[in-house]
Amino acid sequence: MNLVIVESPGKIKKIQSFLGASFRVMASVGHVRDLPEKEIGVEPPDFRPHYVPTDRGKDVLAKLASAAKDAEAVYLATDPDREGEAIAWHLEDALRLKGAKRITYTEITDTAVKAALGNARSVDRDLVAAQEGRRVLDRLVGYMVSPVLSRQVGERFSAGRVQSPAVRLVVDRERAIRNFRVTVHYGVELTFEAAEHITDGWKAAWLPKRGWLAEGEEYILDKAIAAQVAAVSALEVSDCQESESKAAPPAPFVTSTLQQAASAALKINPKRTMELAQKLYEAGHITYMRTDSPNLSEEAVAAIRSWAGQHDYPLPAKPRAWKSKAGAQEAHEAIRPTHIEVEEAGETEEEKALYRMIRLRAIASQLSDAVFAVRVVTLTGTVDGKQAVVFEARGRALIEPGWKALTAKDETDEDDEEPENQVPQVEPGRQLSPQAATVLTKKTKPPARYTEAALIKELEHRGIGRPSTYAAILDNITGRGYLQLEKRQLVPTAKGEKVVDSLVDYFAFLDYEFTRQMEEDLDRIAEGQVQYLAVVSAAHSQLDQELGQFVVKTSPKCPDCGKPLRHMVKADSKDKKGYNFWSCSGYPDCPATFADAGGVPGDRQEKKALEPSGFDCPKCGKPLIRRTGTSKAGKPYDFFGCSGFKAGCKASFDVKEDGTPDFEKAEKKKQS
């Protein structure tokens, strides 16, 4: 019997049906080990992670160990990405497997799975190191910065290597919107009478940059000037240009564009999109959904072109190939149907809608360009017989639909459509008089708030995060209350703005370029160009230095010794009382403490002087002090203690009914 270990239980039945009785397919159910929850789990100088089984992983590992013991061969068939490679290594290490075979496939079909078995390899330790680097860097930022940040600001906050820059993007955009000042400006639109087949007339817009704006000016701010231009009564056609424009189809979906398109066209958020895509993948309907390569396999392209030809869709002479973005991980192809001829797949309406979108996008990517006839007419005239004025009429018409015959609109490029303003063919030199003139009042618009789709696009553009992380980033920053959705737009909360302001001037991981460079370093680890230890130790050293500077620069100073004060905060719990005060970091040399006054140090907390009781300690002769109060556990106490306890005398005595020390009871205890 051969054992095949996959990640998801949803794949077991399908793959088992391909392999038959000589194979047993089991699932790791994702990660079986991780860093510990209540400690950082990684320390200098070697930064070797301390892994522990997850709660679910304990039982999974026990079952897999039992099955592996009797297996002739063990195949690690976890997902074909860094995360999957890391899970394969964890299984190999935790189960102490000797000679385990690593196999990958990007579609769950009989052909692909059996081909993978014939191309087994060992676990790629460079890919594992890259995933480990990401996990450890995230842990260092979270565990080193978050507690210090919370203590300094007096509020529970978390910092994240990638989540914090994502929050910053939204905060920066929101502040740009708040600070935006609307500029009212003016334009002119002329309407000419119907011509040829254009029944509603055609329009031309004034080009004020042609002689009406001084250098550095962008808009006409004087309405009277626009009204003066609108009074133009005669114009001459100075040019009529005929041309064609082509619109290439969009590339097949990668992870980020799938999330963007599903958000824009289907109103499905990124996290849900990935859940639906996972189900389609596990059912064998689509290829692997975590990828940033926009290209398809040769076999897939051939199948699409064959299907398109059979259904009379236009094809270019050569198959299309797409340029990947910088840093793309091209281990496997773009997202596509496993069988292009299958028009509908999925169990739910959401799954079916997502599948249709993936299928149409894959087919469209190989079809011919859409071709438009473009006509631009330039008209010139004079205002009051003096100053020249130029108008332009621009229009286009679809003459060859190409890929648009299959899908009329690219879901992700919503702002790329030109108006279908049809313009007649007019000969240069022809004299025209406008039928109507309209002065247009225009207002500049602030930048738009990010939608989830737009934020993913921006993160990808800046090189922050990777395909497998986008949905988790959004889920994290909204779940922690740093951002909220309002009419499908992301808006920072007061908490989100505060966490950004608290970090941005002190830590490099808030810098967009630094974060992009760190992602590139992780890619270089995956490619074997740099070592895990070099990247992680350098990041830790910088972070440690920044933390020290952060504490010094953000802490109030102790009036007694000048050292930073620390905000000591702990909430009440069932068994322990909470506290909220400021303490000198020089303790115990400097014991100064101060009450909290709304997040800043308040009045000094003076310790109540303990006066001698009039009785001396029979052990050392120093004065006894009567101590009364309530312990942290809530229990009252009342006893006499020696004032020389710091010098080593621990003598204490109960209080008798008359309020004196019970020396006799203490002596009896000593003798017994």
Residue type, 195: A
**Predicted confidence (pLDDT) at residue 176 exceeds the cutoff of 90:** yes
Band of residue 344 on the pLDDT scale cut at 50, 70, 90: very high
CA dist 414 and 454 (Å) reads 11
Write down the H helix ranges in 330-484: 349-364, 452-462, 470-479
Lowest average pLDDT, out of 91-95, 131-135, 148-152, 433-437, goes to 148-152
Write down the H helix ranges in 439-528: 452-462, 470-479, 494-503, 512-526
**Predicted confidence (pLDDT) at residue 416 exceeds the cutoff of 50:** no
C-alpha dist (Å) from residue 75 to 64, 384, 536, 593? 12, 85, 31, 61
Task: Give me the mean pLDDT over the 493-508 stretch.
Answer: 96
Would residue 51 show up in a list of annotated catalytic residues for this protein?
no
List the domains of the chain with CATH numbers. Answer: 2-123 (3.40.50.140), 134-178+449-552 (1.10.460.10), 184-248+370-443 (2.70.20.10), 255-364 (1.10.290.10), 565-604 (no CATH), 612-671 (no CATH)
Active site residue: 75, 288, 470, 482, which one?
Answer: 288
**Predicted confidence (pLDDT) at residue 577 exceeds the cutoff of 70:** no
**Predicted confidence (pLDDT) at residue 231 exceeds the cutoff of 90:** yes
**Predicted confidence (pLDDT) at residue 371 exceeds the cutoff of 70:** yes
**Predicted confidence (pLDDT) at residue 394 exceeds the cutoff of 70:** yes
pLDDT of residue 607: 60
Contacts 24+ apart (CB under 8 A), 221-229: 221/183, 221/184, 221/185, 221/186, 222/186, 223/186, 223/439, 223/441, 225/186, 226/186, 226/187, 226/188, 226/439, 226/440, 227/439, 228/383, 228/384, 229/188, 229/383, 229/389
Task: Give me the mean pLDDT over the 259-264 stretch.
Answer: 93
User: Cβ-count burial of 147 within 10 angstroms (0-12 exposed, 13-18 middle, 19+ buried)?
Assistant: middle
Band of residue 385 on the pLDDT scale cut at 50, 70, 90: confident
Q: Is the dihedral of CA 502, 506, 509, 515 positive or negative?
A: positive
Task: Give me the mean pLDDT over the 601-616 stretch.
Answer: 76
| Beta partners for residue 202, in sequence order | 192
Q: Percentage of residues in the chain with pLDDT exceeding 90?
A: 72
pLDDT of residue 6: 97
What value does the mean pLDDT of the chain take?
Answer: 90
Band of residue 414 on the pLDDT scale cut at 50, 70, 90: very low
CA atoms within 13 A on the CB side of 580: 12
Nearest to 377 by CA among 116, 195, 140: 195
Lowest average pLDDT, out of 77-81, 409-413, 438-442, goes to 409-413
**Predicted confidence (pLDDT) at residue 409 exceeds the cutoff of 80:** no
**Predicted confidence (pLDDT) at residue 60 exceeds the cutoff of 80:** yes
Band of residue 382 on the pLDDT scale cut at 50, 70, 90: very high
Torsion-angle region of residue 154: left (phi > 0), alpha (psi -120 to 50) or beta?
Answer: left
pLDDT of residue 3: 97
